[in-house]
Amino acid sequence: MTVPLTAVAVTLALISQQPATPAQTAELVPATDQTFTRVYSESTVGLVPPAPPTRFSSGQWLLAVSSAGLKGTVLLDITVGADGRVTDAMVTKSDLPDWTDDEAVKAVSQWVFKPGTLDGRVVAVRSTATFATH
């Protein structure tokens, strides 16, 4: 399901109980016909979450972290699109230097999953990924 950006302005106005001004709406309307895609939580009732990645690599992350003698974990929130590709990744917790976070995001962006499904349809799903070395 996709939602036009103009609908988002109306929704935001309803939440705030104030009408959206033309300036607010104009800021949300893209120059093209971009739309948002609904992303489901893994806890959505009836959702079959994405299967483990069919294409997986730690990229340069493990090599770089091991070479530096570091031990720790990087936790990411990721969005697995309906095509199985990671469309968004954000570090939510890390006990390692920032450069290792960047390498983890680069690595996870190359992963490919069997997509999640809901009621027999493939859907985008918000999930987590963990990179760890001990």
Residue range(s) of every CATH 3.30.2420.10 domain in the chain: 40-133
DSSP classification of residue 55: B
Q: Which of 4-8, 39-43, 47-51 has the lowest mean pLDDT?
A: 4-8
User: Once rounded to an integer, what is the mean pLDDT over residues 103-127?
Assistant: 93
pLDDT > 70 fraction of the chain, expressed in percent and rounded: 74
pLDDT at position 20 is: 52
Res 26 pLDDT > 60? no
pLDDT of residue 1: 42
Kind of pairing, strands 2-4 and 35-37? Answer: antiparallel
The per-residue pLDDT for 59 is 78
38 — pLDDT class (breaks 50, 70, 90): confident
Architecture of the domain defined by 40-133: 2-Layer Sandwich (3.30)
39-41 and 121-133 strand pairing: parallel
Three-state SS letters, 98-114: HHHHHHHHHHHCCCECC
Exposed, middle or buried by CB within 10 Å (0-12, 13-18, 19+), for 47?
middle
